[in-house]
Structure 1
């Protein structure tokens, strides 16, 4: 039997979009052995010289001019990418997209970033007859995600669904599935084995993450956490930010048996499993992974736009707390050291109430699209 093909397209503007694509790829293959998947960061694949330069410029802008980024996000909040923009993107970076699609011959195309979604939408307007599924990877719905050529939207919450409905998207096109995270995050691992693997102690543990780009440069927060190194265990994950990791390795304050420094790792699920508190940037993927593990979260300086919306949503649900002052850190450390059993109990309560975020929900919707495509071909 010929396998059905799913092409998953993302972009490298933050690690979460591509992580969502790979998470969906894994879930699809687990759900059906008859599905073949291919994940691509479209710009980097088609234009490997120009794309990294654009992404680097974006990173610098986000970190150095957050007010400008916030203004741009808000001013275009309800606007889709216009036809001129999608045409320019297509001509500048994705001139071979149609050829790529013809070569791979996908039965369904899934986009986890608004730019490839806009590009595929334009190609569909020009005659491409392949279902397009767009996965919104945040707890908000910016206008750039929206295009009438999208056949199906997978969204995180009913609130995001309502925002799409308000902008004229037909209800039949929207499925509330939660943001897809890798199936590993829904598994419960042996904490003892994980501690042995990473040389960790059985003691209250704080995991500090800065996202895939390692945006965790708050000297005050890091210094305060380090001051409690005799009472708690601290794990710093730097992602791809090797310079920040090197600086911390050379800092005497962080040279302690209870402080552990990690670069990029594919085993964040295990580190979350053995940690009791997550200090993080509130990216949509990281928040969703933390939710799957039931770990309480403290949100460090959200990036303008979608991270701010993610932070507000998780705070409203009682799953996370913005770090509005250093007292937030201090209070949580005291909870870990003085009231640890209560922290563990509340975490279990979260785990007991997140069943509605089914780990395979997104994959099942895409399987449905594949089945509909197959029926249409043979009808």
Structure 2
């Protein structure tokens, strides 16, 4: 008799784009290693409540953009708190019954959560009798108390530091595995540089990729981007504004950025290719983008980390020599000079790739989930 395929349900939430990207990366990674496994990724809020979901997300996005300090304060003041109180309130009636129905319908052999909210919801369903293994993938280089739930069968975390932090929140050592954050298999290999340059109409010269994250938070209050434009005759700049149309227009309308060596892009699914032809990445330190940069061995400069996870992510990558905090023009001068020296830039990149190979294996997370399901 033909055995039916194993099924993995991956649940995320749309706050920032990293959680869902991690879920998709893990889903593709699992299928890449074992095509007999079926995967399904759902963003819980959007799926269960198409009207409220996006409203909550856009309110959160406004807060992050306009009041990052408030986000940091909330993050720190609730650091040790579990999600139970929150779960008993707003989400209670809305999420549990519908999530339960989704699980009954899809009959997964395992559930992976990449965000604390679905994690709390599934944990509660398990307390009420749901019998499906729950794996929790923490998509940052920090572990907030809201992740901790006794019902989680296994935590998949980025580093030994995150493992230690989870243990401080009361999670036993045996339930935590250090796997690294998964990236899409597109980031596991390099593409042909000449083809990529042709595709994006780029020149073969020292190149800097500037990313504002999924929301494209490219406000240039310190004038650092304008300062970078001063290098445009010798350094090519690629700005990725994500879904932020306003930021894209603002850059396009600035005469400083109208130059053959400056490209302004909106949302693209081909960041892996742009990283292949770039010598330096300037980005917000989201857990996912940093891990993608790490997997490509590209040096990173981090700007304006949002207090909370982004600060922790930034600290990890700086401490481990994968990047530096972008604070002033001197940092720009130093790095823009380095990438114009082919030998020095090549050596630096090779050293990062060696370090990456010691610390990170892109298949590890997908392998761990497949093993746990056996």
Question: Is it true that 1:187 corresponds to 2:185 in the alignment?
Answer: no
Question: Is it true that 1:260 corresponds to 2:274 in the alignment?
Answer: no
| 1:115-159 deviations in Å (ceiling 9; x for gaps) | 100110011111100000000000000111111111110000011
CA drift of 1:95 comes to 3.6
Q: Distance in 1 between matches of 2:157 and 2:255?
A: 45
Whether the 8 Å contact between 2:78 and 2:145 is mirrored in structure 1 is yes
Q: Distance in 1 between matches of 2:29 and 2:53?
A: 28
CA drift of 1:340 comes to 3.1
Of 239, 244, 260, the residue aligned with 2:242 is 239
SS of corresponding position for 2:146: helix
> Which residue matches 2:32?
30
Q: Distance in 2 between matches of 1:269 and 1:112?
A: 21
SS of corresponding position for 1:129: coil
| 1:147-188 deviations in Å (ceiling 9; x for gaps) | 111111000001111111222211111110110110111102
In structure 1, stretches of 5+ residues that fail to align are: 372-379
> Which residue matches 2:342?
340
| 1:11-40 deviations in Å (ceiling 9; x for gaps) | 110001000000001001011121000001
Q: Distance in 2 between matches of 1:122 and 1:82?
A: 9
Runs of 4+ with >6 A deviation: none
> Which residue matches 1:221?
224
Question: Is it true that 1:291 corresponds to 2:294 in the alignment?
Answer: yes
> Which residue matches 1:44?
46
| TM-score, normalised with respect to structure 1 | 0.95
Q: Distance in 2 between matches of 1:87 and 1:132?
A: 23
Q: Distance in 2 between matches of 1:282 and 1:159?
A: 17
Question: Is it true that 1:361 corresponds to 2:364 in the alignment?
Answer: yes
> Which residue matches 1:9?
11
CA drift of 1:93 comes to 4.3
Q: 1:309 to 1:84 in 2, by over 3 A?
A: closer
CA drift of 1:223 comes to 0.3
CA drift of 1:336 comes to 2.0
Of 253, 278, 282, the residue aligned with 1:250 is 253
How does 1:1-379 map onto structure 2 within 5 Å? 1-83=3-85, 85-86=87-88, 88-219=90-221, 220-337=223-340, 339-355=341-357, 356-371=359-374
CA drift of 1:5 comes to 0.5
> Which residue matches 1:374?
none
Whether the 8 Å contact between 2:224 and 2:328 is mirrored in structure 1 is no
Q: Distance in 2 between matches of 1:247 and 1:89?
A: 38
**How many equivalent pairs are there?**
370
SS of corresponding position for 2:352: helix
| 1:38-78 deviations in Å (ceiling 9; x for gaps) | 00101101100001110110011111112211111111111
Q: Distance in 2 between matches of 1:24 and 1:287?
A: 16
Whether the 8 Å contact between 1:46 and 1:94 is mirrored in structure 2 is no
| 1:239-269 deviations in Å (ceiling 9; x for gaps) | 1111111121122111100001111111100
Whether the 8 Å contact between 2:11 and 2:41 is mirrored in structure 1 is yes
SS of corresponding position for 2:356: coil
Whether the 8 Å contact between 1:3 and 1:36 is mirrored in structure 2 is yes
Q: Distance in 1 between matches of 2:115 and 2:169?
A: 19
CA drift of 1:369 comes to 2.1
CA drift of 1:94 comes to 4.8
